[in-house]
Amino acid sequence: MDEDTGEQGLGRRERDILALERRGFSGPGVKERAIREELGLAPVRYYQLLNALLDDARALEHDPVTVNRLRRVRETRRSER
């Protein structure tokens, strides 16, 4: 088994994105700073990757609570448009 690929088949970056989403952030800009500093990604790219992860069955298997919560948020936002 590859070190960067977990038993669920998610890569390290995908697992790190889900881990960051599990955390709470204290104020505006804190999450974006963590995205840049911890993951080395621009926030726009981070949210693109996150959105794709929400449709990935491996992500759901890895962290069903976080993925289902984020799917509900995404659907609520889509229905408000």
* Sequential DSSP letters for the chain: --TTB-TTS-BHHHHHHHHHHHS---STTHHHHHIIIII---HHHHHHHHHHHHT-HHHHHH-HHHHHHHHHHHHHHHHH-
pLDDT top residue among 75 and 2: 75
Record the pTM.
0.84
- Domain presence at residue 5: no
| Predicted confidence (pLDDT) per residue in 17-38, tens digit | 999 999 988 888 999 999 999 9
- Domain presence at residue 2: no
Domains held by the chain: number: 1
Residue 4 binned pLDDT confidence (cut-offs 50, 70, 90): low
Domain limits for position 41: 27-80
- Domain presence at residue 21: no
- Domain presence at residue 16: no
